[in-house]
Amino acid sequence: MNDSRTVQVVRTEIPGLLKVTLPVHEDARGWFKENWQREKMVAAGLPDFRPVQNNISFNVERGTTRGLHAEPWDKYVSVAAGEIFGAWVDLRPGETFGAVFYSRIGPNQAFFVPRGVANGFQTLSDNTVYSYLVTEHWTENSRKDYSYVNVADPQLSIPWPISLDDVILSSADREHPLLSSAKAVQPQRIAVLGQNGQLGREFVRLAERDSRIVLFDRSQADFQKQGFATSINLEGFSHVINAAAMTAVDRAETEPGRSEAWRINAVAVAELAAHCAAQQVQLIHVSTDYVFDGATPEVDESHPIAPLGVYGQSKAAGEQAVLAHPNNFVVRTSWVVGKGNNFVSTMRRLAQQGVSPNVVDDQFGRVTFASELARGIMHLIDSDCEPGIYHLQGVGQAMSWYELACDVFELCGKDSNAVQPLSTKQYLAQNPQRAPRPRNSTFNARKFEASGFVVEPNTELLKRYLDDEYAVL
């Protein structure tokens, strides 16, 4: 038994399959252990596992063998009495498909088994009690997503301590397919809301090569409809990416626009966050530089929010609703450029038409290309990053809208002198109904960079964008 007073978590050769050593306290009466203690185990390196069902298998005779079953949920397996020989086979698609790991397990050990890894065991003593926690409620419908592999498959070469000729094994388990015929367990899906925006359209492109991404249109997720979130079926989903928003900054200052902004950017987001939390699905919510007042030249994730207008206020409220649930992400970005109408595509059109625009020269920031934003969000998901707030913005020198417009004209082969500088004060005098905008929209994105994500330089991305016909469609 383990004399240590601390939980120990060790990785195995199968990605995500974790061996847990538990402190067991013994005396003349017997022993005691904390079989599952979320706070200690997460601190030791286990994922933030949130089980919803506990199952117990009592096995009368030594040699009882069960498996190998891969179910569509995470499991935490342990022994309450006796000893077992556990075996696991990776049935997830990819390079590790077919990888095998095995170990003896007594009361002082447990294993975290990720979704898609087949689990099996053989009892090594009579009256063995095997316990497992799972992250999904079992239903008859769950069976369609199961996968199996035969315990006797010679390709696996599992060294069962007791010969399979002498064990108790169900007829169903004896008939499971060999690894060569086993069905790969597909990963959980990722829902994307807001497919018609610039970021949403980028996810439409990503979905062509990533089968996990499922796009929801307005008929399936209407943010203007009260209670819409509970109608979204999230069974089989691990994440929801909310790319939907009311982004008409000037309209948000009008009476009808104010109600629309608060409904879509705050109230609906709170409903969505509550639904995701109830379904144990991570929410990645996209926010904006408008939650800041722009008084500070560069801000990091800890900088106090201080929105100037209704749009920023509604987005700030949405952020707080998302962060009220500890497992969620808020990704702040700025000056997004993708497929559709945006500042860069507008400047290109004006350059091609020979128009000389007046452009504000005292508001500063960085362009963020939708392709990089979408790629960064997928990185957060695939790298198992810590939840919280992240800033993601293009890489390069901060510049004004005027300087950006000049660059666009030059790259389009036009004279940048055609672009005329204009102060914010002059702009507002000419357009008194315009909403206030932050003077500075420059982020410190080192937290995102520390996660291992590398953004391509904006200079290269801008050239590529201007050469890409899709950008203006």
Name the average pLDDT for the chain: 94
Catalytic residue from among 69, 303, 325, 379 = 69
Question: What residues contact 290, with CB distance under 8 A and at least 6 apart?
Answer: 249, 307, 308, 309, 311, 312, 315, 437, 438
Residue-level pLDDT at 470: 46
319-367, pLDDT tens digit by residue?
999 999 988 999 999 999 999 899 999 999 999 999 999 999 999 999 9
Q: Could you tell me the residue ranges of all domains in the chain? A: 8-181, 189-472
Q: Domain 189-472 is classified in which CATH homologous superfamily?
A: NAD(P)-binding Rossmann-like Domain (3.40.50.720)
The DSSP element (H or E) to which 111 belongs, if any, is strand 109-113
Note if 275 is an active site residue: no
- The pLDDT-based confidence of 99 (bands split at 50, 70, 90) is very high
Catalytic residue from among 132, 148, 311, 465 = 132
Residue-level pLDDT at 139: 77
Q: pTM value? A: 0.84
Whether the pLDDT of residue 461 is over 50: the answer is yes
In order of 2, 30, 40, 232, 337, the CA distances from 26 in angstroms are 10, 6, 20, 49, 63
Contact 120, 110 (CB under 8 A): no
Residue-level pLDDT at 217: 86
110-163, pLDDT tens digit by residue?
999 999 999 999 999 999 999 999 988 887 777 778 899 999 999 999 999 999
Note if 69 is an active site residue: yes
Which of these ranges, 132-136, 175-179, 270-274, has the smallest mean pLDDT?
Answer: 132-136
Fold classification of 8-181 (topology level): Jelly Rolls (2.60.120)
- The pLDDT-based confidence of 469 (bands split at 50, 70, 90) is low
Whether the pLDDT of residue 398 is over 60: the answer is yes
- The pLDDT-based confidence of 4 (bands split at 50, 70, 90) is low
Which residue type sits at 91? L
